[in-house]
Chain A
Amino acid sequence: MSERSGVPGEGLVKGLAVTLKTMTRRSTTQQYPDVAPELPPRSRGVIALLEENCTVCMLCARECPDWCIYIDSHKEEVAVPGAARPRQRNVLDKFDIDFSLCMYCGICIEVCPFDALYWTPEFEYAEYDIKDLLHDKDHLGEWMVTVPPPPAHDPHGDPSKEETTAARKAAAPAARPAPTRVRPEPGAEQGGGAPS
């Protein structure tokens, strides 16, 4: 109390000034249900799934810290005309994320090699029953329309790898290296060579 300097009562006036100044400014209240909040594009609201990109590599499910991603799949043979034998393809049967367990760390999105998972800023998916927080692949797919466009490339940054590769290829189309590895003939794999 004795440490203070200046005019006595200065603090009282300062306090009044602060409240009066605040009153003249716009209030910071967000009128949420009436006015939608302006969320930054990279907000972590909910995770969207682009089913076509998923190859069922299971990386997301394995990296998930609380194991809230459930994936089921089966293999399907696709007969490609002109190919020597039918190709195999993974078909996604089930892709569930349990948002009652999810802690929104985003590791699944980071780890996905094929850009099948995206953050979207949507957050209004509260449910009355906790079981409804388990979003299946259709529900996760519905969120895709809400995914914001990716941020523009930094004009001063390095050009993207795809761009440099494309530019290099366009500059020297003849210099393209020939495929070094030849696909083994059908019937020649009894030797046990692992196709790597």
Chain B
Amino acid sequence: MPTWLELVLRVAAVLVAFLTLPLIVGQTEHKVMAHMQGRLGPMYAGGFHGWAQLVADGIKFVQKEDVTPRDADRPVFRLAPAVALVPYLLALLVIPLGPGDLVGQPLDIGLFFVLAVVGIGVLAVLMSAWASANKYSLLGGLRGAAQLLGYELPLVLAAASVAMAAGTLSLPGIVAAWHPWWLLWQAPAMVIFFVAGLAEIRRPPFDMPVADSELVFGYMTEYTGLRFAFFLLAEYVGIVVIAALTTVLFLGGWHGPFADAQLGWLWTLLKVFAVAFVIIWLRVSYPRLREDQLQRLCWLVLVPLALAQLVLTAAVRLAM
């Protein structure tokens, strides 16, 4: 196979994953959230249990008028949704689905790349918040910036712990080095990474920047139509990325009960959806944290714990 064809195939596959997985997660969220609240959720769109609800939503968003407020900083305002979306697309590129070559682009510094790219999210939040020329947007954006900067630290520290344990920054390398007993050894790091990841993608209970009951819709208040849909899509791709990263770093990626070499992709996908389910479950169960509780949890609980985990990892590594 010529290199260019392989490249096109890989990018196309990542793009397909980028467009389908968030829709599946979104539809699951509709249904799971509804049933957890004793409802049925969407039932009409598409005929069978509303399977096409998100497709219908997408068509609706495309038809809507794309409004840019008069006082908005137009180029920045229009660019922000893309800045929110593209980092997650790039992150998906390096996350391994299965053993061997089943990864968009095997990168030796994959973990570093993913963390760096996901960190760009804060830029999109600030851009949309400032350019909207709206007080609620600005408040939401500043909350978002404080939150993202704060939670970046435990996220990176927890990821560093597992990278230290595996002795590599390559994501396939980390999965290859993974052993089931790491579930215990790296358990605190896993919890920290997951919680910080939730905050990173601004999912409830860490949705202070959006906080629809107090800030209208935070930094997304002024967005309409397709641009708003991009922000929503970014949120769901974010779920996929965080679930995939948790899977790859802490849950052993393609390691399954049997046939790792052939069914690795299936184990990875199953784990990703399981983690995504937990993300949805947490959203349904917990109320939103207050801003001070949010920062307190980050700086007084997660960061010290992550540092302790780093010490533990280093000690075990040295002892082995």
- Enumerate chain A interface residues (CB-CB to B < 8 A): 12, 15-16, 18-20, 22-23, 25, 27-29, 31
Chain A residues with CB below 8 A from B12, complex form: none
Contact B37–A22 (Cβ < 8 Å): yes
- Enumerate chain B interface residues (CB-CB to A < 8 A): 32, 34-40, 43, 281-282, 284-286
The CA-CA distance from A20 to B286 in the complex, in Å, is 13
Known: A22-B35, A23-B35, A27-B34. A16 touches B40 (CB 8 A): no
Contact A29–B39 (Cβ < 8 Å): yes
Choose among B35, B38, B40, B286 the residue that contacts A15 (Cβ–Cβ < 8 A).
B286
- Chain B contact residues, majority secondary structure: helix
Known: A12-B286, A15-B285, A15-B286. A20 touches B36 (CB 8 A): yes
Question: Least Cβ distance of A15 to chain B in Å?
Answer: 4
Chain B residues with CB below 8 A from A28, complex form: 38-39
Chain B residues with CB below 8 A from A27, complex form: 34-35, 38-40
Question: Least Cβ distance of A133 to chain B in Å?
Answer: 30
Residue on A with the closest CB to B32? A23
Residue on B with the closest CB to A34? B43
Pairs of residues from A and B, 5 with the lowest C-beta to C-beta distance, nearest first? A19-B36, A15-B285, A29-B40, A23-B35, A23-B36
The CA-CA distance from A23 to B281 in the complex, in Å, is 10
Chain B residues with CB below 8 A from A23, complex form: 32, 35-36
Q: Which of B36, B37, B282 has the most CB of A within 10 A?
A: B36
The CA-CA distance from A22 to B33 in the complex, in Å, is 10
Choose among A20, A25, A31 the residue that contacts B40 (Cβ–Cβ < 8 A).
A31
Question: Least Cβ distance of A104 to chain B in Å?
Answer: 28
Contact A19–B284 (Cβ < 8 Å): yes
Task: Name 8 interchain pairs, CB-CB below 8 A, sorted by A.
Answer: A12-B285, A15-B286, A16-B282, A22-B37, A27-B34, A27-B40, A28-B38, A29-B38
Choose among A16, A20, A22, A31 the residue that contacts B38 (Cβ–Cβ < 8 A).
A22
Contact B281–A20 (Cβ < 8 Å): yes
The CA-CA distance from A71 to B282 in the complex, in Å, is 62
The CA-CA distance from A41 to B184 in the complex, in Å, is 60
The CA-CA distance from A22 to B39 in the complex, in Å, is 10
Question: Least Cβ distance of A176 to chain B in Å?
Answer: 63
The CA-CA distance from A128 to B47 in the complex, in Å, is 29
Chain A residues with CB below 8 A from B36, complex form: 19-20, 22-23
Beyond contacts A27-B40, A31-B40: 8 other A-B pairs, Cβ-Cβ < 8 A, are A19-B36, A19-B284, A22-B37, A22-B38, A25-B38, A27-B38, A28-B38, A28-B39
Chain B residues with CB below 8 A from A12, complex form: 285-286
Question: Least Cβ distance of B282 to chain A in Å?
Answer: 8
Residue on B with the closest CB to A18? B285
Chain A residues with CB below 8 A from B39, complex form: 27-29
Residue on B with the closest CB to A11? B286
Choose among B40, B43, B285 the residue that contacts A19 (Cβ–Cβ < 8 A).
B285
The CA-CA distance from A31 to B281 in the complex, in Å, is 25
Chain A residues with CB below 8 A from B282, complex form: 16
Chain A residues with CB below 8 A from B284, complex form: 19
Chain A residues with CB below 8 A from B281, complex form: 16, 19-20
Chain A residues with CB below 8 A from B38, complex form: 22, 25, 27-29
Contact A16–B285 (Cβ < 8 Å): yes
Chain A residues with CB below 8 A from B286, complex form: 12, 15
The CA-CA distance from A18 to B286 in the complex, in Å, is 11
